[in-house]
Every structure is written in C-alpha cells, then in structure tokens.
Amino acid sequence: MTALLTDDCAVNVQNTLPLSMVERMTLIMEAFDRPLARLTLDEVTQHTGLPRSTAHRILDQLVQCRWLIHAKTHYSLGSLALTLGGRELAQHELRSAASDTLQALALRTGLYVHLASLAGSEIYYLDMFGGRNGHRVPSQVGGRAPAHCTAAGKAILANLSPEYVDNQYASVIRSGRTDYSISDIVVLHQELARIRARNGLATERGECFGHLACVGAAVRNADGPVGAISIVTRHASPLEPLAPMVLRAARTISDKLIHGSRFA
C-alpha cells in the first residue's frame, strides 16, 4: 500500500498535523500492503513495532474515519482506502482466483453463478458466468443489492461479528426488496446462526428477486471472508442438489487465496 506521507509532503503537513502521528498512521496503513489483507491487532503491532495500546488507539481512529474496517478480531482496508486504488486490486485478486472454478460450475449446472464482495450494507457483483439454460437474471456485473436479501451477502455476514451486523443493518433492514426479504434484525441474526450451523451454506428464495432463488457460500483468505459466490435458479427449483457444488467451489477458491497469502 502506498504510504500516506511522502518526503515531499512532510513539510506541508508538519504545521497542521503532528508528524509523529502521521508517521504512526503510515506505519499501520503500510501493514495492509495487500488489498485483501486482514490483520489482528497483534499482527499490526508486530509489523509496526508500535506499543499495543498506541496501535489500538490509532486503529480505532482509522476505523472511525473509514480507512479501515473492524470485523471480529481483524482489521481490513475500508471504503476510503479502497476508493484510492485498492478496490481494483482486491477485485482483480478475487476474480483471478475464482474465474476458472466459477466457469466450470456454470457449465456444469447451466445456471448463472455470481462472485460478490461486501460494500457496506450491500453486495457488489464482481463477476458472473453462465445462463446456458436460457433464463435471465436482473443482476449484472457492477450492480449492487442489499446484502441481507441475498445468499452471497448472508454468507459473508454469517462470518462477521453481531456488532458489525447491528451497526450496518439495524437502520436499513426494514427496506427489503420483496415480501420475502428479512425485515427484522433479530430474524437476520437467527438466519445467520442457521447459516453457521450449515457449514456456511446460505440460501434465499425470492428475497432479492421474487422469481429467483440462490445458494451461496463465503470465500475466505487466511484470516476470514473476502467475498462470496452464489448460484441462481428459479424460485421453485430444489436447492439441495446445488449446495455441495457451491460449498466445494467456495473451498477451491479459498484455497487459492490462502495459498497466495503471506499469512498462510
């Protein structure tokens, strides 16, 4: 990750920001040198050499300013950092790891297959394959959907802390997409618990689009979820035959990401 402070700009900011704080923030942000890096407080402390209490305080400030995201015990790049160039790298890494596996899954089933990442309270569709059987889906690459209404989104949320889910969804969950959408935060937590009990398998029928159903599973790197895949079928179609294929594909992609992680 490009440092937040360079030698050329040090003089300019010295009069407005304590240089020592800028240097410490720079050390911490440089620890996230991979777009999908997810670090614990101890890992940040080890990388930067900062006192644990100092690192924790600065991490909290970076989270508040949206440079980082804090989920469970790990930190990752936030919306501001990704907006400045990290998003394309992160998407490229995910898409490269997933492409062959998702193409094979789409060919095997004849159905549309999605690759998505979490963006605040929504999922962002990074890629999609398939549709050989002729039916069309409203989703498209670059599109978004409420995460709590989709199998891919719920698969990711099931891996995040209840506090994160409350923070992101308590105020927006009532605005569902269809009559089938979850519209209560307690019900959402119950659904996420069921997903965890099913080894991470998420399903939805008509929650995002009334005529469709999906099966999804999270994709992980060495430290946690970085996205999800889902397969789309008709509302009334059985989902059970798709479940093992989706879980197997998610594991295959995760293995590729973990193998390339510097924390593997």
Report whether 157 contacts 170 (CB < 8 A). Answer: no
Q: Which pLDDT band holds residue 102 (cuts at 50, 70, 90)? A: very high
Mean pLDDT check: name the lowest of 46-50, 79-83, 110-114, 241-245: 79-83
User: Looking at this protein, which amino acid is placed at residue 36?
Assistant: L
Residue 82 lies in a domain: no
The domain of 52 spans: 7-77
Which of 31, 51, 77 is where one domain is finished? 77
Amino acid, single-letter form, for residue 251: R
Contact 128, 114 (CB under 8 A): yes
Cβ neighbour number for residue 65 with a 10 Å cutoff: 11
pLDDT in the model for residue 262: 42
Final residue belonging to a domain, choices 77, 107, 136: 77
Please tell me the predicted confidence (pLDDT) of residue 90: 56
Query: Is pLDDT at 260 greater than 80 in this prediction?
Result: no
Is the pLDDT assigned to residue 8 strictly greater than 80? no
- Give pTM, 2 decimals: 0.69
In a domain, 110, yes or no: yes
At residue 193 the predicted structure's pLDDT band, cuts being 50, 70 and 90, is: very high
Specify the DSSP class assigned to residue 36: T
139-177 pLDDT, tens digit each: 888 888 999 999 999 999 998 888 878 877 887 787 677
Each residue's pLDDT tens digit, 33-85: 765 677 889 999 988 889 898 999 999 888 888 788 787 778 877 766 665 55
Same domain, 222 and 137: yes
Mean pLDDT (whole number) for 25-29? 88
Domain final residue, candidates 45, 77, 109: 77
> What pLDDT digit, counting tens, does each position of 9-22 carry?
333 434 444 447 88
Half-sphere exposure of 221 (CA within 13 A, CB side): 22
Residue 139 in any domain: the answer is yes
Domain check: are 92 and 214 in the same one? yes
Q: How is 200-226 classified by DSSP, letter by letter?
A: T-EEEESSSSTTEEEEEEEEE-SSSEE
DSSP string, 124-190: EEEEEE--TTS---S--TT-EEEGGGSHHHHHHHTTS-HHHHHHHHTTTTTS-SSTTS---HHHHHH
User: For position 174, what pLDDT does the model report?
Assistant: 74
Cβ atoms of residues 57 and 31 within 8 Å: no
CATH of the domain at 61: 1.10.10.10
pLDDT score at 89: 52
> Which residues face 116 on adjacent strands?
125, 228
- 199 within domain boundaries: yes
- Average of per-residue pLDDT across 106-117: 93
Q: Are 102 and 249 in contact (CB under 8 A)?
A: yes
Domain count, the chain: 2
Statement to judge: residues 26 and 149 lie in one domain: no
Mean pLDDT along residues 242-253: 96
Q: Is the pLDDT of residue 27 over 60?
A: yes
